[in-house]
Chain A
């Protein structure tokens, strides 16, 4: 088992290296750099002459090492990450990238994880119901709802919920708190207010996953329920409940376990768009802003982290699968 884990980690390492290089490359693709953006801002907003602005930004380029060739900058960036955990400097926030990411990642992960848990629990439960009540009226309803669930664009759903809450119920939407509670100390009322805002992104982000889990669970359980050992269990006179939950579900839930590791980055992806609509203080708006103004260390680091989370998630899922299912071999 240990050698299997080590082997998998060894295999993941070159992938991680490639991911970091590719992230940096992608972020470097746009012509120019942050200083080009800054130069434009200086001229249009601070009233500098183009010559002055160019001189100033060139000086800053030198200061931050942006005039170095691509490979040198990549080397410095990645070695600082590996040796010191330093992700570089964010120009728009004038602070280290690591600080911004850690500050906002907490809320981002909380939204994504809550969405994840809900989508797995609800998805699996509805999936079990649908499979055991196949071709009933409710099963058909759930099938259509699932299709709608993964067809609705995140941002559209967020807009729709915002509209209904704001104009149908007169509730405050956007952000995590009503204006009254933003800087208030934690209290029960503030917590309730937080929950009133928090469920919106969780539902928006989790809907597609719920729909997907439900369909996967339904399909798998239907396959398993047709197998001989299930028939044997029924023939022995076991109760339907015992057959389904003890014998069938355990085997059908396997692909969901595999999906656990893969899902997180995709939930984060949903969170990025949703938080841009709902104006949440999470990673989404920061990532968007950093891309647009070419704040490359911030954008690159975040892009890389998304992929790293996916690779680690896959690794964990593989290990979990070997652990859960004795039939999967270590090789």
Chain B
């Protein structure tokens, strides 16, 4: 959609001795490269995936670390110039002294400019396992012993919000990505089978798909997620939500794939495969699905942001991920009353994380769709 009609004069590569025709993948990639927004989105998504994979490395604090002494600390600034005007190449933070506002009797934090704490990069801190395997305690960002480093402030339990957002990305993005993957797999298999074989299977799956699509997604997600038993452990709830996304989300892709398969079924290369004695599943997976894979990836990419939004709304309403686990929606549950919001506006920041992530996935999905549509015609 970003404007694919214009064809800038790209210098054509010199034909080699035996020129090979450009592959569909290369053509698609070339189209994709033309959209700036798609590249911004793609880069953001890539960085986000790195961030989720190495969450404990990037998080300055552990998510479980609650400190009553640091409840609702406003975002702290990194300083380079100290009170006497001297420049420090390594940024530092000032000490925070809890104090009380004499008029409102509310807790405030006063900056003590006499005490400075240097910020450390790649320094040892709390223990964790990198990728769940390698035990280490090196962190990207930490602060000298005794100081504090809350770049985005803290929440009502005194936990560092930046670290919570980084850990929350694991759950929020994880549940959406795996949910979308499973739903895409289901959709591709069901769609391909119903398009290829037709008959009763086709009628039944089409009807079920139509039924699921006739409900607005969020109310349906809400109604089904209530069915996850309260006694389930948080991780069980996580898998439950993921399964709901997968089991209710497949019809979109199934419909698309079915249509494509129907149109490919009568093509010569499928006939040839039939004539050569290939069986149904082999033809589907080997000959037909590779032609549709572009569309599958596009729909997968487009459904991820939808599921991130759905998880956010579900958890925000208290029907999704449950508190010991941290997701962006769960974090926003603290921001429901105007009083807390007014005094501690930074607790809305997880919403910004959702917005940026969804935006990036939408940029990426849009660019991919343009690229795939243009080359598959």
Judge whether B359 and A277 touch: CB under 8 Å.
Answer: no
Q: Hey, which chain B residues are within 8 Å of A303, CB to CB?
A: 215, 219-220, 223
Q: Hey, which chain B residues are within 8 Å of A70, CB to CB?
A: none
Distance in Å from the Cβ of B239 to the closest Cβ of chain A? 16
Within 8 A of B (CB), among A210-265: 215, 218-219, 222, 226, 265
Distance in Å from the Cβ of B360 to the closest Cβ of chain A? 9
Judge whether A310 and B215 touch: CB under 8 Å.
Answer: yes
The answer for the CA separation of A173 and B332 in the assembled complex, in Å, is 19
Closest to A167 in B: B342
Give the number of chain A interface residues (Cβ < 8 Å).
55
A58 contacts the other chain (CB 8 A): no
Within 8 A of B (CB), among A265-304: 265-266, 268-269, 272-273, 276-277, 287-288, 291-292, 294, 299, 302-303
Within 8 A of A (CB), among B276-290: none
Judge whether A154 and B313 touch: CB under 8 Å.
Answer: yes
Contacting residue for B358 out of A153, A268, A273, A291, CB 8 A: A153
Q: Hey, which chain B residues are within 8 Å of A218, CB to CB?
A: 1
Contacting residue for B342 out of A143, A163, A222, A273, CB 8 A: A163
B273 contacts the other chain (CB 8 A): no
Judge whether B216 and A147 touch: CB under 8 Å.
Answer: no
Distance in Å from the Cβ of A150 to the closest Cβ of chain B? 7
Of A15-23, A76-84, A86-94, A186-194, the segment with at least 4 beta carbons within 8 Å of chain B is A15-23
The answer for the CA separation of A19 and B317 in the assembled complex, in Å, is 25
Contacting residue for A269 out of B216, B341, B359, CB 8 A: B216
Q: Hey, which chain B residues are within 8 Å of A1, CB to CB?
A: none
A311 contacts the other chain (CB 8 A): yes
Judge whether A151 and B362 touch: CB under 8 Å.
Answer: yes
B123 contacts the other chain (CB 8 A): no
Q: Hey, which chain B residues are within 8 Å of A269, CB to CB?
A: 216-219
A13 contacts the other chain (CB 8 A): no
A123 contacts the other chain (CB 8 A): no
Q: Hey, which chain B residues are within 8 Å of A173, CB to CB?
A: 338
The answer for the CA separation of A144 and B1 in the assembled complex, in Å, is 12
B96 contacts the other chain (CB 8 A): no
Q: Which of B207, B211, B229 has the most CB of A within 10 A?
A: B211
Within 8 A of A (CB), among B293-348: 305, 309, 312-313, 316-319, 332, 335-336, 338, 341-342, 345, 348
B177 contacts the other chain (CB 8 A): no
The answer for the CA separation of A27 and B220 in the assembled complex, in Å, is 10
Contacting residue for B351 out of A156, A166, A266, A276, CB 8 A: A156
B22 contacts the other chain (CB 8 A): no
Closest to B351 in A: A156
Q: Hey, which chain A residues are within 8 Å of B1, CB to CB?
A: 215, 218-219
B363 contacts the other chain (CB 8 A): yes
Judge whether B313 and A288 touch: CB under 8 Å.
Answer: no
A198 contacts the other chain (CB 8 A): no
B200 contacts the other chain (CB 8 A): no
Q: Hey, which chain B residues are within 8 Å of A19, CB to CB?
A: 211, 214-215
Q: Hey, which chain B residues are within 8 Å of A27, CB to CB?
A: 223
The answer for the CA separation of A159 and B227 in the assembled complex, in Å, is 28
Q: Hey, which chain A residues are within 8 Å of B207, CB to CB?
A: 18
Distance in Å from the Cβ of A65 to the closest Cβ of chain B? 22
Q: Hey, which chain B residues are within 8 Å of A150, CB to CB?
A: 362
Closest to B335 in A: A159
Q: How many A-B residue pairs have CB under 8 A?
A: 136
Distance in Å from the Cβ of A295 to the closest Cβ of chain B? 11
Q: Hey, which chain A residues are within 8 Å of B335, CB to CB?
A: 159
Contacting residue for B348 out of A15, A159, A215, A266, CB 8 A: A159
Closest to A216 in B: B1
The answer for the CA separation of A272 and B366 in the assembled complex, in Å, is 28
Contacting residue for A310 out of B214, B358, B362, CB 8 A: B214
Judge whether A155 and B341 touch: CB under 8 Å.
Answer: no
Q: Which of A18, A166, A307 has the most CB of B within 10 A?
A: A307
A68 contacts the other chain (CB 8 A): no
A156/B348 contact (C-beta < 8 A), A166-B338, A269-B217 known: yes
Judge whether A273 and B220 touch: CB under 8 Å.
Answer: no
Judge whether A163 and B345 touch: CB under 8 Å.
Answer: yes
Closest to A308 in B: B214
The answer for the CA separation of A18 and B345 in the assembled complex, in Å, is 46
Judge whether A276 and B317 touch: CB under 8 Å.
Answer: yes
B354 contacts the other chain (CB 8 A): yes
Q: Which of B3, B37, B216 has the most CB of A within 10 A?
A: B216
The answer for the CA separation of A303 and B227 in the assembled complex, in Å, is 15
The answer for the CA separation of A166 and B332 in the assembled complex, in Å, is 18
Judge whether B362 and A273 touch: CB under 8 Å.
Answer: no
Distance in Å from the Cβ of A53 to the closest Cβ of chain B? 18
Judge whether B316 and A147 touch: CB under 8 Å.
Answer: no
The answer for the CA separation of A188 and B222 in the assembled complex, in Å, is 39
A324 contacts the other chain (CB 8 A): no
Judge whether B313 and A155 touch: CB under 8 Å.
Answer: yes
Distance in Å from the Cβ of A39 to the closest Cβ of chain B? 14
A151-B359, A156-B354 known, 19 other contacts, Cβ within 8 Å: A19-B215, A22-B211, A22-B215, A29-B226, A147-B359, A148-B359, A152-B355, A152-B358, A153-B309, A162-B338, A163-B348, A218-B1, A266-B216, A272-B218, A273-B317, A292-B319, A303-B219, A303-B220, A306-B215
Top-9 shortest CB links A-B: A156-B351, A29-B227, A151-B358, A151-B359, A269-B216, A265-B216, A30-B227, A269-B218, A307-B215
7 residue pairs A–B, Cβ–Cβ below 8 Å? A19-B214, A29-B223, A147-B363, A153-B358, A159-B335, A273-B317, A299-B223
